[in-house]
């Protein structure tokens, strides 16, 4: 992951809905709250958000219904024009792009998957997946060849001639994902793509999605209201409330150090031992002796070591190199649920 150059950079972005949002924002007193803005006759869909998305990162944006997560992502791709602030994608200010340049950016760089599958019922799996390539003007042979590649990628081989009505919900979602992948996007927006699925299929789709990301290393913005899903998928999580980002950090840091009371309530029922990794507990200035543990292990997976070991400090290695050590008592507190 390239942490130096953000693929998407969002600085002090506002999206207000109302009669004359630009004029209102220009004269609005600093520090105006969500409810105060609403009392003035406006809705703050996005409220002074600054966030970067890095190359190869999976940023999960989560929050309750109405928190602003979908509105923010629609601002990233300029499906919504923002009221204030700036958004750049691959260094381009999206608000300065012409209609033609914006269409080209979306066609060449962005893929989108939504909760509703949006499949064309009269077209087969193959034809649905090839549809965006048809819109690009690619010839029939190239379209078919690329569609077959992504059909194999998402595990739908043998179903290319099925119609959507002949597929399960999970299979339809795979078609939606494949259709998005067909254009080979650098940036992938997914808006609650699995929320309509039953829990077992949802888990399978998460596994499939993680497999695809390991192979393709896309830059992904994934929206969900499910904290367990966010913890499972994210490199970083941004938690939104009333249009604002309450906290944006790694899953480990969010469960260990919630920045606000709202975030703390989100995390209070989470089993921290399944989220917190050895790398986060390791302190570079602390040394330990004996057999090290891998930085990628969660506290839960280290449970047997922690219970049976007698060392005060346990060394941690990443890629064969020692990165520090952690106090066994710190990990045990997390394991037994101490706060």
Question: How far, in Å, are 34, 125, 259, 294 from residue 331 at the CA level?
Answer: 39, 49, 21, 14
What is the tens place of the pLDDT at every residue in 68-124? 999 999 999 999 999 999 999 999 999 999 999 998 898 888 988 876 667 899 999
CATH code of the domain occupying 55-81+97-271: 3.40.50.300
* 1-30 mean pLDDT: 90
- The correct CATH number of 273-335 out of 3.30.360.10, 3.10.580.10, 3.90.230.10, 3.40.718.10 is 3.10.580.10
Q: How far apart are CA 204 and CA 194, in angstroms?
A: 10
Q: How far apart are CA 202 and CA 233, in angstroms?
A: 12
What is the tens place of the pLDDT at every residue in 34-65? 999 999 999 999 999 999 999 999 999 999 98
- The boundaries of every CATH 3.40.50.300 domain in the chain are 55-81+97-271
Instruction: List the one residue out of 179, 103, 148 whose CA is nearest residue 140.
Output: 148
What is the tens place of the pLDDT at every residue in 255-268? 999 999 999 998 88
Task: Quickly count helices (H) and strands (E) in the chain.
Answer: 14, 13
Contact 191, 223 (CB under 8 A): yes
Q: What is the per-residue pLDDT for 43? A: 96
Q: How far apart are CA 114 and CA 194, in angstroms?
A: 9
């Amino acid at each position: 992951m390239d942490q130096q150059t953000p693929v998407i950079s969002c600085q002090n972005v506002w999206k207000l809905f109302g009669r004359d949002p630009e004029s209102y924002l220009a004269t609005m007193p600093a520090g105006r709250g969500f409810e105060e803005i609403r009392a003035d006759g406006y809705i703050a869909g996005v409220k002074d958000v600054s966030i970067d998305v890095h190359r190869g990162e999976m940023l999960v944006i989560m929050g309750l219904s109405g928190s602003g997560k979908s509105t923010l992502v629609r601002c990233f791709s300029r499906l919504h024009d923002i009221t204030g602030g700036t958004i750049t994608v691959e260094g381009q200010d999206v608000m300065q792009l012409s209609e033609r340049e914006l269409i080209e950016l979306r066609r060449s760089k962005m893929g989108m998957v939504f909760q509703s599958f949006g499949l064309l019922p009269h077209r087969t799996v193959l034809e649905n997946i090839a549809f965006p390539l048809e819109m690009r003007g690619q010839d029939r042979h190239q379209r078919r060849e690329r569609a077959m590649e992504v059909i194999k990628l998402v595990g739908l081989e043998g179903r290319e001639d099925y119609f959507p009505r002949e597929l399960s919900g999970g299979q339809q979602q795979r078609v939606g994902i494949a259709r998005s992948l067909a254009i080979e996007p650098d940036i992938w927006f997914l808006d609650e793509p699995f929320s309509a699925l039953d829990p077992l299929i949802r888990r399978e789709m998460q596994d499939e999605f993680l497999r695809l990301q390991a192979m393709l290393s896309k830059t992904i913005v994934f929206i969900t209201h499910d904290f367990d899903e966010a913890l499972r998928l994210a490199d970083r999580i941004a938690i939104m409330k009333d249009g604002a980002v309450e906290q944006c950090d790694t899953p480990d840091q969010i469960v260990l150090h919630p920045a606000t009371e709202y975030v703390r309530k989100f995390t209070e029922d989470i089993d921290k031992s399944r989220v917190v990794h050895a790398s986060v507990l390791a302190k570079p200035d602390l040394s330990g002796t004996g057999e090290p543990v891998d930085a990628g292990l969660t506290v839960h997976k280290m449970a047997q070591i922690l219970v049976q070991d007698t060392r005060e400090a346990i060394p941690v290695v990443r890629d064969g190199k020692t990165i520090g050590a952690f106090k066994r008592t710190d990990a045990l507190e997390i394991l037994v649920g101490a706060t």
